[in-house]
Structure 1
Amino acid sequence: MTAFLFQLSFYLASPVWLLMIFAPTRRVTARVAASPLTVLPVLVVYVTMAVPVFPEIWTAVSSPDIDRFRELTELAGGAGAVWAQVIAWDLLLGQWMYLEGRRLGISPLVMSPLLVFTILLSPLAFPAFLLLRAVRMRSAARAAAGADRTTRPVSVQGR
């Protein structure tokens, strides 16, 4: 059962990822990505796996220690619960990145591979996105400043 739940956690998140990667400009994708409720099914899987090993989870998180955490992940339910938590947080992170990318006008041809990278290695993809976001915001600010200079009325002397 635990192996099934482990797999299910990713399959429950997959439709949202598929929309953001393969249908990024569709209205339904923006609506789905804007909802934090998308992670609830994954969190139900988390709770299902976490409840039986809750004492071990509590020990691992209340007194963080690498050996306690290792013991937790040696339990199938513990490893599955950690996996479901990672899937849920990665999905929320991916949704925020998708929405920010759309807001900033970053091309889906750039964002889609970055979202795939987020599924695989979010701790590396997130800083890459933050760098891309900073560059995009800086160039947008420069463009806006340039537009302000060209649209200002010229004062007429001698009136």
Structure 2
Amino acid sequence: MTGFLFEITFWLTVPFWALMVFAPTSPRTHRIVSSPLIAVPPLVVYAVLVAGHLPELWATMSSPDLGTLREFLNTPRGASAVWAQVLAWDLLVGAWMYREGRRLGLHPLLMGPLLVFTIVLSPFGFALFLAVRARCDRPDRATAVVTDE
């Protein structure tokens, strides 16, 4: 069952990524991706994977130790749980990038590859997006957030 949960986790996130990459200007995409509930499917998988192992997980995560974490991740359940957690967070980061890209008016041909890069290597895709965002954002953005002008 763990192998199945590992495999299905990615596919539970694909529809949201597909909307952001292939239908970025659709109002439906914006409405769907604006909800943090898009992370629920991989988080349900995460919950199923760790439900019977909460004491072990708590001990591993509350007192981080490389050896203990390596042991946990070396199990199919541990690796699958971390995979589900990573996919959920990556999806939330990607959705934020999508919304920021729309706010900045970034072209879908720029955002699409950035989002795909984020799917594959999220820290690098996110860092590259932050650089693009810093270059394209209005210099007076902080004032606009406060004054709504």
Scaled by the length of structure 1, the TM-score of the pair is 0.85
Name the Cα RMSD after superposition: 1.2
Aligned to 1:19: 19
Residues 10-49 of structure 1: pairs in structure 2 closer than 5 A? 10-49=10-49
Give 5+ residue unaligned stretches, structure 2.
Answer: 141-149
User: Deviations for 1:36-81, whole angstroms, at most 9, x for unmatched residues?
Assistant: 0011111110000011332221121111011111011111111111
| Contact 1:45–1:84 under 8 Å retained in 2 | yes
Give 5+ residue unaligned stretches, structure 1.
Answer: 143-159
Residue 141 of structure 1, CA deviation:
4.2
Aligned to 1:99: 99
What amino acid sits opposite 1:32 in the alignment? I
| Contact 1:39–1:92 under 8 Å retained in 2 | yes
Aligned to 1:72: 72
Aligned to 1:133: 133
Counterpart-to-counterpart distance in 2, 1:55 and 1:81: 14
| Contact 1:94–1:118 under 8 Å retained in 2 | yes
Aligned to 1:146: none
Scaled by the length of structure 2, the TM-score of the pair is 0.90
What amino acid sits opposite 1:28 in the alignment? R
Percent identity over paired residues = 54
Residue 19 of structure 1, CA deviation:
0.3
Aligned residues: 140
Counterpart-to-counterpart distance in 1, 2:118 and 2:9: 16
What amino acid sits opposite 1:15 in the alignment? P
Larger radius of gyration between Structure 1 and Structure 2? 1
